[in-house]
């Protein structure tokens, strides 16, 4: 069995994979498979939400991918490492794949359903099942808890005037105070309530942390504008959640296309969300900032 230092190093790699799951909006679980020397054979994370499939836990994805890659159903030579105890489905699947060695980080929550633990399964399994648990337990637990907090997020359409003022405050912080864009450029004729503009706010545990709006370009097309997330909440998946909500909102109103003028540095972020460039890079006249126009077909 690999030593403790290597166990911890490998667990950190699992935790990086967990970050990918969280950023995609999936549950915060990942797993890797290693050989006896600690070489990584495969990596996977939970994709149940994005693929609308409740069985696509990290371990299931991992076993599926590795068996396919190695053209085998027998993974007995390998050890599975996950950031939390496997659920009963995944533990059973691993045993069916003949995995004998397991390393886990955090304990799984008490409200697991069905409530069958890895140790219950080990008791019923034929042959050896070796389990090490508690590797970087606190860090793994913290990562899972933080991800859970991320879920206490609400996105809504802005309706009373007070909420619109909150949008403007957030934008002032981001566009004027941080980026040096004049308030007169930022706040414009669309910053009131009319049929062609919809404003949105994203709340985390009751605090407004970001905003955006869309304006109607035609019956089929809207333009996403003024996406602003408070500095301390960036790179945590909130912008994606806000945009996905806006896409759904627009789609439900018969809108086919969402366009946006992205600041050029954010181009990859939008590409990951499915936006394609529809222009060359250019300097926006009002702000002097490099931009690119992008578009996504919603239906
Ligand atoms: Zn599972």
**CA 180/CA 36 separation, integer angstroms:** 55
Ligand 1 centroid from CA 86, angstroms: 5
Q: What is the pLDDT of residue 87?
A: 95
pLDDT at residue 47 in the model = 95
- How far away, in angstroms, is 246 Cα from ligand 1 center? 31
How remote is the CA of residue 9 from the centroid of ligand 1, in Å? 23
Please identify every residue whose CB atom is under 5 Å from ligand 1, which is an ion: 57, 87, 90
Averaged pLDDT, 157-167 = 92
d(CA 79, CA 103): 7
Distance 56 CA to ligand 1 centre (A): 8
In whole angstroms, give the CA distance from residue 210 to residue 232: 11
> What is the pLDDT, as a whole number, of residue 281?
95
Query: How far apart are the CA of 40 and the centre of ligand 1, in A?
Result: 20
Q: Find the 78 Cα to ligand 1 centroid distance in Å.
A: 18
> What confidence tens digit (pLDDT) does each residue in 98-144 have?
999 999 999 876 678 899 999 999 999 998 999 999 999 999 999 99
Instruction: Quote the ligand 1 centre to 170 CA distance (angstroms).
Output: 39
Check if the beta carbon of residue 17 is closer than 8 Å to that of residue 44: yes
Does residue 166 register a pLDDT over 90? yes
- Is the pTM higher than 0.85? The answer reads no
Q: What pLDDT score was predicted for residue 195? A: 74
The C-alpha atoms of residue 213 and residue 200 are separated, in whole angstroms, by 6
The Å distance, Cα 186 to ligand 1 centre, comes to 47
pLDDT at 291 over 80: yes
The 10s digit of each residue's pLDDT in 131-147 is: 999 999 999 999 998 88
Query: For residues 9 and 14, what is the distance between their CA atoms, to the nearest angstrom?
Result: 9
DSSP string computed for the chain: ---HHHHHHHHHHHHHHHHHHHHHT--S-EEEEE-TT--EEEEEE--TTTTT-TT--HHHHHHHHHHHHHT-S--TT-EEEEEE---HHHHHHHHHTT--EEEEEEPPPTT-SS---HHHHHHHSSS--EEEE-TTHHHHHHHHHHHHHHTSEEEEE--SHHHHHHHHHHHIIIIIIIT---HHHHS-TTSS--TTEEEEEEEETTEEEEEEEEEESSSSEEEEEEEEE-GGGTTSSHHHHHHHHHHHHHHTTT--EEEEEEEGGGHHHHHHTT-EE-S--EE-TTT--EEEEEEEE--
Q: What separation in Å is there between the alpha carbon of 127 and the centre of ligand 1?
A: 21
Q: How confident is the model at residue 194 (pLDDT cuts 50, 70, 90)?
A: confident
pLDDT value, residue 110: 64
pLDDT, tens digit (0-9, with 9 covering 90-100), for 170-179: 999 999 999 9
Stretch 253-257: mean pLDDT, rounded?
A: 95
Cα 90 to ligand 1 centroid, rounded to whole Å: 4
How remote is the CA of residue 126 from the centroid of ligand 1, in Å?
A: 20
Average pLDDT over residues 40-63: 96
Q: Which pLDDT belongs to residue 299?
A: 82
Q: In residues, how long is the chain?
A: 299
How much is the pLDDT for 5?
Answer: 96
How many angstroms does the Cα of residue 52 sit away from the middle of ligand 1?
Answer: 15
What's the average model confidence in pLDDT over 35-50?
A: 95
Q: Cα of 117 to ligand 1 centre, how many Å?
A: 11
Give 287's pLDDT tier (boundaries 50, 70, 90). Answer: confident
Q: For residue 91, report the distance from its CA to the centre of ligand 1, in Å.
A: 7
Per cent of the chain over pLDDT 70 is: 99
């Amino acid at each position: 069995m690999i030593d403790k230092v290597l166990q911890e190093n490998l667990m950190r790699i699992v935790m990086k994979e967990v970050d990918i799951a969280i950023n995609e909006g999936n549950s915060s679980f990942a797993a890797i498979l290693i050989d006896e020397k600690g070489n990584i054979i495969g990596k996977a994370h939970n994709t149940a939400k994005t693929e609308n499939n409740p069985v696509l836990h990290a371990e299931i994805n991992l076993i599926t991918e590795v068996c396919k890659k190695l053209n085998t159903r027998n993974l007995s030579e390998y050890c599975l490492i996950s950031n939390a105890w496997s659920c009963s489905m995944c533990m059973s699947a691993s045993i069916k794949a003949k995995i004998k060695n397991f390393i886990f980080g955090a304990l799984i929550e008490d409200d697991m359903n069905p409530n069958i633990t890895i140790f219950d399964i080990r008791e019923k399994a034929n042959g050896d099942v070796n389990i090490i648990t508690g590797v970087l337990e606190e860090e793994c637990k913290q990562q899972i808890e933080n991800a859970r907090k991320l879920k206490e997020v609400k996105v809504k359409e802005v309706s009373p005037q007070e909420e619109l003022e909150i949008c403007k405050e957030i934008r002032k912080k981001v566009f004027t105070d941080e980026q040096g864009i004049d308030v007169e450029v930022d706040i414009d004729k669309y910053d009131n309530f009319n049929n062609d503009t919809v404003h949105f706010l994203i709340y985390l545990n009751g605090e407004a942390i970001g905003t955006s709006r869309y304006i109607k370009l035609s019956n089929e097309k809207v333009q996403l504008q003024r996406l602003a997330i408070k500095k301390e909440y960036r790179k945590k998946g909130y912008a994606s959640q806000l945009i996905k909500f806006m896409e759904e909102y627009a789609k439900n109103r018969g809108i086919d296309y969402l366009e946006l003028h992205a600041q050029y540095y954010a181009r990859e972020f939008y590409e990951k969300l499915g936006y394609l460039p529809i222009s060359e890079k250019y300097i926006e006249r009002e702000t002097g900032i490099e931009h690119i126009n992008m578009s996504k077909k919603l239906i």
